[in-house]
Amino acid sequence: MTESGEAVDNKGRMPEWFIWPYFLAPFIPIAIALKVFFDLDPIFVFVTAALGVIPTAALMGVATEELAAKSGPGLGGLLNVTFGNAPELIIALFALGAGLQEVVKASVVGAVLGNVLLIMGIGMLTGGWKRDKQVFNQTAVSSQALMLFLATVTLVLPAIYVLIHGGSLPSATADLGDFGSDVNRISIIASVILLFTYAAGLLFSMKTHKNLFNPAGEEHSSPLGWSTKQAIGMLALSGVAVGGMADLLVGSLESVSVSLGLSEFFVGIIIVAIVGNAAESWVSILYALRNKMDLSVQIAIGSATQLALVIMPILVIVSFFLGPNPMALVFNGYELAGLIIAVMAAYYVVQEGESNWFEGLQLLALYAVLGVVFFFA
């Protein structure tokens, strides 16, 4: 029995939380059919695709746990984060090609905010509701939080350069910005440094200090007894499926947002971000409920870190070859304020290596306040 009372002795037996989402699996082909063969209101595609994300995210959760049982939470969490962030990257590449640079930046920033405030907040609230506290690997989480903090500083500096040299930040309603060749060079160099930093972080966590991220004696149950190849295959399959559903969601978001009277900035930083984060959100919260906070917090913080240090730099580099203009690492004032506040709050919360439901509630309250501000931006 696990800490949560779940039976895991019989390999091949699906845990209860894994079974029920699969009743929603028919919505996957329904969403595709509505998009391809029927000319219906986009809101139908939006709803069915959103429901289709749930079973694919559940599959991703089990595959991650299978990998964690064999290799520890470090590698399992990393793979979950990587496949979970695939939808954001795919969506952003299509948006870049259409010249929607500010929507791309808003969606990535929104995904970071969603991970460190919304996902981690819900996880701490629900997981800690009936417990005095939950503990996690302070060393592992703090190192990721520090990388995220340093990435945030790096993302802020190009905006400071623009302001010092008499320029202005993009507005929340801007579609395309050209900040000059110097800012583009700064953006490219900063992106390369961020990618190098993330690679060094992987070397630290997976090689030189592996024992800190996968403590000896820490056991993780294997619900289904899959082999490593099976687990990786299922993780890849679920990542592709989540990306497909997310693409359908985003394709219908513009029409839905217009009918609901929402700005593109709000859609990008809140709605697109939540949709793209659906997979790791589901998994992280489930682990928190099962008192596996190492995986829960590492997925939330790790996903935000990968978005800032990998996804955004890749998009900057690719923008020089895709789209009308290169995308500079210059964010609007709302995005900068949100990033700084959210990352500082998350960094403070994880320093003690333990959490409770009230800390989760405060993270959610901060996310709600930011959401209100973004709505009126």
Q: Write the DSSP assignment of 2-25 as a string of letters.
A: -TT-----STTPPPHHHHGGGGGT
Q: Is residue 133 part of a domain?
A: yes
What's the half-sphere exposure (Cβ side, CA atoms, 13 Å) at 132?
A: 0
Q: Is residue 42 part of a domain?
A: yes
CATH number, domain of 41, equals 1.20.1420.30
* Beta-carbon contacts of residue 101 (< 8 Å; ≥ 6 apart): 95, 175, 176, 177, 319, 323, 325, 327
- For residues 69 and 220, the answer to whether their CB atoms sit within 8 Å is yes
Q: Is residue 169 part of a domain?
A: yes
How far apart CA 335 and CA 329 sit, in angstroms, is 12
- For residues 222 and 18, the answer to whether their CB atoms sit within 8 Å is no
Q: Kindly report the pTM of this predicted structure.
A: 0.82
Residues in the chain: 377
When pLDDT is cut at 50, 70 and 90, the band that residue 241 belongs to is confident
* Beta-carbon contacts of residue 350 (< 8 Å; ≥ 6 apart): 136, 138, 141, 142, 145, 297, 301
For residue 105, what are its two tokens? 């930046």
pLDDT at 74: 61
pLDDT at 77: 61
Mean pLDDT across 267-284:
76
Q: Is residue 2 part of a domain?
A: no
- For residues 275 and 246, the answer to whether their CB atoms sit within 8 Å is yes
Coil, helix or strand for 226? coil
pLDDT at 94: 77
Q: Is residue 303 part of a domain?
A: yes
For residue 49, what are its two tokens? 């695709």
**More reliable by pLDDT, 5 or 221:** 221
pLDDT at 335: 93
What percent of the chain shows pLDDT beyond 90? 23
How far apart CA 144 and CA 165 sit, in angstroms, is 33
Give DSSP secondary structure letters for 238-281.
HHHHHHHHHHHHHHHHHHHHHHHT--HHHIIIIIIHHHHTHHHH
Domain that holds residue 344: 16-375
Mean pLDDT across 241-266:
78
pLDDT at 7: 38
pLDDT at 193: 94
What's the half-sphere exposure (Cβ side, CA atoms, 13 Å) at 250?
A: 29
Coil, helix or strand for 182? helix
Q: Is residue 7 part of a domain?
A: no
pLDDT for residue 138 is more than 70:
yes
Mean pLDDT across 319-346:
89
pLDDT for residue 25 is more than 80:
yes
- For residues 117 and 346, the answer to whether their CB atoms sit within 8 Å is yes
What's the half-sphere exposure (Cβ side, CA atoms, 13 Å) at 241?
A: 24
Mean pLDDT across 69-88:
66
- For residues 243 and 81, the answer to whether their CB atoms sit within 8 Å is no
Angle at 126 between CA 270 and CA 66, to 5 degrees: 90
For residue 326, what are its two tokens? 């290169």
Q: Is residue 4 part of a domain?
A: no
pLDDT at 336: 93
Q: Is residue 1 part of a domain?
A: no
Could you give the number of structural domains in the chain? 1
When pLDDT is cut at 50, 70 and 90, the band that residue 18 belongs to is low
